[in-house]
Amino acid sequence: MAQTNKKPLNRIKVVLVEKDKTNKWLAKQVKKTPVTVSKWCTNSIQPSLETLSEIARALGVDIRDLLNPSISGNER
């Protein structure tokens, strides 16, 4: 498989670690399979905005905390 230099879109995995929660826990909270959550955490696929909102609620964070910025400070 070819390696890509694509920047991850979401920070779900990072926030799960910060909150000391597991993929399995999140899967139960948002009624998705652990496989789906794993794919979100590796940025293989992205959750819908509605699901991202559910994830933010479950983790007690602002939805923006689950996303990487689209523009870095030096691009402004």
pLDDT band at 22 (very low <50, low <70, confident <90, very high): very high
The count of other CB atoms within 10 Å of the CB of residue 23 is 20
Q: Which domain holds residue 35?
A: 12-67
CATH number at residue 35: 1.10.260.40
With 50 as the cut, is the pLDDT of residue 21 above it? yes
Q: How far is CA 52 from CA 4, 42, 65, in A?
A: 24, 15, 10
| Cα distance from N-terminal residue to C-terminal residue, the chain | 34
Whether 72 maps to a domain, the answer reads no
- How confident is the model at residue 1, as a pLDDT? 47
Distances (CA, A) of 22 to 6, 26, 51, 57, 72: 25, 6, 17, 15, 29
What's the pLDDT band for 5 if we cut at 50, 70, 90? Answer: low
Count of the separate structural domains present in the chain: 1
Q: Does residue 1 belong to any structural domain of this protein?
A: no
The dihedral through the CA atoms of 16, 11, 72, 1 has a sign that is positive
Does the global pTM surpass 0.75? yes
